[in-house]
Amino acid sequence: MIIDFYLKPFPTIDVDDQYYLREQTIEDTAAFFEYYTHPEVGRYILATIPKSLADASAEIHYCRNLFYQRQGAYWTLAHKDNDKMVGAIGLYINNHHHRAEITYDLHRDYWRQGLMSRAIKRIMQHAFTQMDIHRIEALTALENTASMAILKKLGYRHEGTLRNYRNFKNRPHDVELLATTPDQQLPLLQATEDTLGQISILE
């Protein structure tokens, strides 16, 4: 049952020898604010970018509480050596339908290294094998070709355009819907690290 996920401690997930995914903390605020406010990082994010450390702290608090409110889970992607946050991956979960929407962001300095590809794969493995998730969706702007490409390389299929789906800055925006299911993921989830290391598109 998916509810069992929320009854266990928040899961920590290894990505590789240098990075891991852990629960977000208020101590991540400064690092989050530093990378998330970069114009290139926020270019296609249809959400309000924090204007202060207080705004960033509130965002961290909201994402962390998703788990305790049984609405999802948000991981910090961090260095193992210094525990500094360099990105994040979240799952907004529909518990009744065993469905999740994945979101992610990454510090500009870590693009084109395959890091987000490896991290998303780990989250997908955990969601499908440990959380009883039956479907993971991703919503992205058509112009965000990098995000579209990484999702397709990770086995997501483009299912269509959702017209006027997101309201941002007082106007509607279209988004592209991509999704994957466990049966589509079996070959990828069994892929080697060498295979994933070949994924070096902008993340």
Using N-to-C axis directions, what is the helix angle for 182-189 and 115-130, rounded to 10°? 130
The chain-wide mean pLDDT, for the chain, equals 91
User: What sign results for the dihedral spanned by CA atoms 179, 99, 89, 166?
Assistant: positive
- Per-residue pLDDT at 46: 87
Q: How many domains does the chain have?
A: 1
What pTM was computed for the model? Answer: 0.89
Each residue's pLDDT tens digit, 40-76: 999 989 889 999 999 999 999 999 999 999 999 999 9
Mean pLDDT across the stretch 91-114?
96
CATH code (residue 149): 3.40.630.30
Each residue's pLDDT tens digit, 168-179: 888 999 999 999
Residue 203 within a domain: no
Residue 158 CA: distances (Å) to CA of 10, 47, 73, 98: 31, 22, 24, 20
SS3 percent helix, strand, coil of the chain, rounded to 5, is 35, 30, 35
Residue 26 within a domain: yes
Residue 199 reports pLDDT greater than 70: no
Residue 77 within a domain: yes
Residue 54 within a domain: yes
CA 91/CA 72 separation, integer angstroms: 5
Residue 18 within a domain: yes
CA 103/CA 137 separation, integer angstroms: 9
Residue 90 amino acid letter: G
Pick the closest to residue 96 from 137, 132, 138, 139 (CA basis): 132
- Per-residue pLDDT at 188: 58
User: Which residue(s) pair with 41 in the sheet?
Assistant: none
DSSP output for 42-71 = TTT--SPPPSSHHHHHHHHHHHHHHHHTTS
Residue 201 within a domain: no
Residue 129 within a domain: yes
Range of the domain at 110: 3-196
Residue 8 within a domain: yes
- Per-residue pLDDT at 197: 40
